Amino acid sequence: MRKALSLFTLMAVLFLAACGSENNNNGAANEEEVEDEIWAEIQESGELVVGTAGTLFPASYYPADSDELTGYNVEVFREIADRLGVDIKFEEMAFDAMLSALQSGRVDMIQAGPREDSREKFAFSEPVKYSYSTMIVRSDDLSGIETLEDLKGKKAGGAATTVYSEIARAFGAEVVTYGNVTNDAYLRDVHNGRTDLVINDYYLQSLALTAITEFDITLHPDLKFHPTTNNVVTKKEATVLMEKVNEIIAEMKEDGTLTEISEEFFGGQDVSKEPEGEIIEVEGIE
């Protein structure tokens, strides 16, 4: 009897183990099904929905007297959609709303730089843009700034909550904030001494100086800091879509398409390649 009972117990254990194995396999299958679902829906609809700003030159904007959205980010997205074999639809929104729109499924992808908290929730492609921060200073004396530590006691023009103002404050600068003003207001104040510097993205600053030439200001020749990237972002579970996007980005780098798009919007500069030279990491700043 005890032998029969032991046999029954062993059979029961094996049965439960088999059930557990079957449940685990179903879980893996379900997970794979979810991972394929996003790409399957895009294929079925024939349309890729992308979140973009529509107001940020030269990334995503409307040229003067035109109702055609363009910019580096926009044209990169168009090329990705074309190589995926689907149409593209742009949803214009503030940058702060993009991640929540992606999370909710309102859009299929956006472009953004990875941060520690967002890496846990979203998938990021290989970079489509590399950059770093620099500063505009007065030409005659570089506003008395030789190192980042020299920012202490200086006045930095900027918005209240940007990473650039965060960097300025981290080194002891006073941030002079502005309302919704055009770029020339920031640059004029460095020129006339109301402020000492403006920290921002290197490529955007260089474009600004090319467009606005009447002020005695320059890019700091020695200070390159806070390296950044811009990446295509999808939901974490969109593994099939992200795999295809990474393959396309590699192709676009190999065949020169990213370089061509970059040179069109960044004054002949290639943002698809990592900048040369040492770029200072700013501790505590993402």
Residue range 154-160: mean pLDDT, rounded? 91
Each residue of 158-168: pLDDT tens digit?
887 788 999 99
| Cβ atoms of residues 145 and 135 within 8 Å | yes
Residue range 141-155: mean pLDDT, rounded? 98
Query: Furthest-apart CA pair in the chain: how many Å?
Result: 101
| Cβ atoms of residues 272 and 259 within 8 Å | yes
DSSP 189: H
Whole-angstrom Cα distance, residue 176 to residue 127?
Answer: 32
DSSP 146: S
Each residue of 192-207: pLDDT tens digit?
999 999 999 999 999 9
So what's the pLDDT on residue 116? 79
Domain ranges in the chain with CATH number 3.40.190.10: 41-128+231-265, 132-226
Position with higher pLDDT, 146 vs 5: 146
Each residue of 26-66: pLDDT tens digit?
444 444 444 569 999 999 999 999 999 998 889 999 998 89
Residue range 126-141: mean pLDDT, rounded? 97
So what's the pLDDT on residue 163? 86
- Flag whether pLDDT at 181 surpasses 60: yes
Residue range 147-172: mean pLDDT, rounded? 93
Position with higher pLDDT, 116 vs 89: 89
- Flag whether pLDDT at 16 surpasses 50: no
The tokens describing 235, both together, are: 């939901």
Q: Which residues pair with 56 in a beta bridge?
A: 60
For strands 110-112 and 225-235, give the pairing. antiparallel
Whole-model pTM over 0.85: no
Assign 186 to helix, strand or coil.
Answer: helix
Whole-angstrom Cα distance, residue 264 to residue 118?
Answer: 30
- Flag whether pLDDT at 88 surpasses 60: yes
Q: What is the mean pLDDT of the chain?
A: 87
Verify cis geometry, omega within 30 degrees of 0, for the bond prior to 58. yes
Query: Would you identify the CATH topology of the domain 132-226?
Result: D-Maltodextrin-Binding Protein; domain 2 (3.40.190)
So what's the pLDDT on residue 20? 40
Q: Could you tell me the pLDDT band of residue 180, with boundaries at 50, 70 and 90?
A: low
So what's the pLDDT on residue 36? 64
Superfamily of domain 41-128+231-265: Periplasmic binding protein-like II (3.40.190.10)
Whole-angstrom Cα distance, residue 189 to residue 217?
Answer: 10
Assign 133 to helix, strand or coil.
Answer: strand
- Flag whether pLDDT at 150 surpasses 90: yes
Residue range 76-82: mean pLDDT, rounded? 98
So what's the pLDDT on residue 228? 92
Each residue of 215-254: pLDDT tens digit?
999 999 999 999 999 999 999 999 999 999 999 999 999 9
So what's the pLDDT on residue 23? 42
